[in-house]
Amino acid sequence: MTAEEVADALGVSIATVYAYVSRGQIRSQRIPGAKSRKYWRRDVMRMLQGEKGDLSASSLQSKLVETTAITLITEQGHYYRGRPALALARTETLESIAALLWQANEREIFGGDLPRVPPDGPGARLPDDINPLQRAIAKLFTVEFANPRAYDLSPAGYRRSGADVVRCVAAAYVGADHPSTAPVHEFLIDSLKADPRYADAVRHFFVLAADHELDPTTYAVRAAANTGVTPYAAAIAGLVSSSGRRLIFGQSASVARLLDEIGAAADPRDPIVRRVREGKAVPGFESKNYPDGDPRAASLFDVLRTLCGDDPDFIRMQAAAAAVHEMTGAAPDFVLPSQLLARKVDLRHDHSALIRVARVVGWIAHAMEQYHERDLVRPHALYAGELPVE
């Protein structure tokens, strides 16, 4: 139908027709070679029949995720099942947070029973130049295949395999052939032969980074879990999507380059001033979730200040952050102190290693909620392509 025909049928003005289109109540399609559009007769008939609602994609499909009982984000910080993550970070471990998010007993899911690993090692046949992310994904595929219990998708089975997945990803990122029963933060420090005083900072970081509600990687995990995959495959979906350049994971390389520039500059403020003067964004600042500053970043900065307040790298980062705030009013994102911590434990070239290890816990929690508490969702998109030729 033409716009005039629609207006006549509905008894409204042309402007009102355009308003219906903008609200998704009537679909339209441009006519090739012309400036005018045609409008879907079915939608007009639907409105004439008095049907309520609109035709946006969200109303035509069952949503993958409408509610969650796992994580709440507020401007003051985020909460795990109603408990403040900032407070939990003072005392808890990644394992105890997993028990909280997975609603399980920590001793039962993180006991001494490790998954079976193929004798030749999961990474033995991989190329030498494979990166840590690829190694982690390959390890999960290999260990899943070697452990039939991975296919037990009951709540108890999911939790047990979830613990295996966390340990396997940690092992992959430190280059270990086998996972360990040691607390993940201690295992990481020992395997990297890093300064032991940073073990508690890693523990603190892991708690803060375990989950952050429905970020894009978590949405990808829930989409995979919706189909009924194993915890290993669900984590693989999260790891794969985390490499996207639009995400904070993918932007870690940009933050790493900025830190390199700050470390090499005569004045640590120079790289900041140059970017702002050229109208470029400064990576690692202006969080979308926390307009007034990310509480996780402030919390981790406090821990690092206690540990290495006189460290030259830390002093330079603080000076650069102060310059950004003075020039733009922006506060550091969580990724900035996270990058500094990664460097201090010798993960300089694995920009997102720490956050990926921690986030596995949240991914498993969301996968369980999606699989065990939701029916299979089959969304339908709102078609906006060429109309069939009659």
* Adjacency order of strands within the sheet including 71-74: 71-74, 77-80, 83-84
Task: For residue 62, name the pLDDT band (cuts at 50, 70, 90).
Answer: low
User: Of 55, 79, 94, at which residue does a domain stop?
Assistant: 55
Confidence at residue 249, expressed as pLDDT on a 0 to 100 scale = 64
| Nearest one of 180, 173, 248 to 217, comparing CA atoms | 248
CATH number of the domain that residue 270 is part of: 1.10.230.10
Once rounded to an integer, what is the mean pLDDT over residues 44-58? 67
Predicted pLDDT at 128: 67
Those residues with Cβ within 8 angstroms of residue 368's Cβ, 6 or more apart along the chain or in another chain: 102, 155, 158, 159, 162, 225
Cβ neighbourhood burial of 196 (10 Å; 0-12, 13-18, 19+): exposed
Instruction: For residue 359, give the amino acid letter.
Output: R
The dihedral formed by the CA atoms of 123, 124, 129 and 131, expressed in degrees to the nearest 10:
10
* Domain assignment of residue 181, yes or no: yes
**What single-letter DSSP state applies at residue 78?**
E
Domain range for 26 = 3-55
Tell me what percent of the residues of the chain surpass a pLDDT of 90.
Answer: 67
Pairwise CA distance, residues 19 & 47, whole Å: 14
pLDDT tens column, 201-219: 999 999 999 999 999 999 9
| pLDDT at residue number 255 | 87
351 neighbors 29 (Cβ within 8 angstroms): no
Nearest to 182 by CA among 94, 74, 261, 88: 94
| pLDDT tens digits, 4-41 | 999 999 999 998 998 888 888 888 887 777 778 889 88
Q: What does the alpha-carbon distance between residue 74 and residue 295 come to, in Å, rounded to a whole number?
A: 10
Neighbours of 165 (CB within 10 A): 30
Compute the average pLDDT of residues 136-159.
95
Q: Which pair of structure tokens corresponds to residue 13?
A: 């003005």
Rg (the chain; Cα; Å): 25
CB-CB contact of 150 with 231 (8 Å): yes
| 109 and 185 belong to one structural domain | yes
Residues 196 and 264 in one domain: no
How does residue 145 score in pLDDT terms, banded at 50, 70 and 90?
very high
Q: What is the mean pLDDT of the chain?
A: 89
Q: Are the CB atoms for 54 and 25 separated by under 8 Å?
A: yes
* CATH code of the domain covering residue 94: 1.10.580.10
Q: Which DSSP string corresponds to 286-310?
A: --SS-TT--HHHHHHHHHHHHHHTT
- In a shared domain, residues 7 and 103: no
Residue 253, CA atoms < 13 Å, CB-side half-sphere = 7
Residue whose tokens read 């980062």? 317
CB 48 within 8 A of CB 57: no
User: Do 311 and 214 share a structural domain?
Assistant: no
- Is 90 domain-assigned? yes
| Residue the block writes with tokens 């921690």 | 358
pLDDT at res. 313: 92
Ranges 12-16, 120-124, 237-241, 367-371: which has the least confidence: 120-124
Question: Residues 269, 322: one domain?
Answer: yes
Closest by Cα among 321, 349, 316, 355 to 335: 355
Task: Give yes or no for residue 370 having a pLDDT over 60.
Answer: yes
φ/ψ (deg, to 5) at 117: -115, 130
Rounded (5°) CA angle 179-144-139: 50
Poorest-pLDDT segment among 168-177, 209-218, 348-357: 348-357
- Given pLDDT bands bounded at 50, 70 and 90, which one contains residue 250? low
Would you say residue 387 lies in a domain?
A: no
Q: How much is the pLDDT for 52?
A: 53
Q: Are 123 and 135 in contact (CB under 8 A)?
A: yes
Q: Which amino acid, residue 284?
A: G
Domain count, the chain: 3
Residue 240: enclosing H or E segment and its boundaries?
Answer: helix 231-241
Do residues 276 and 359 share a domain?
A: no
256 in the same domain as 244: no
72 has which bridge partners?
A: 79
Q: Are residues 233 and 181 in the same domain?
A: yes
Specify whether 23 is located in the same domain as 77.
no
Measured in degrees and rounded to the nearest 5, phi and psi for residue 73 equal -105, 125
77: which strand partners? 74
Q: Is there a single domain that holds both residue 108 and residue 228?
A: yes
CB 215 within 8 A of CB 335: no
Higher pLDDT among residues 157 and 121, named by residue: 157
Task: State the CB neighbour count (10 A cutoff) for residue 14.
Answer: 11
Same-domain pairing of 30 and 92: no
Is 346 within 8 Å of 188 (Cβ atoms)?
A: no
Residue 271 has pLDDT above 80, yes or no: yes
Q: Is residue 385 in some structural domain?
A: no
Specify the higher pLDDT residue, 231 or 51. 231
Is residue 380 situated within a structural domain? no
pTM for this entry? 0.83
In a domain, 42, yes or no: yes
Residue type at 39 in one-letter notation: Y
Classify residue 65: in a domain, yes or no: no
Q: Is residue 382 part of a domain?
A: no
Is residue 46 domain-shared with residue 85, that is, in the same domain? no
pLDDT mean over 129-143: 91
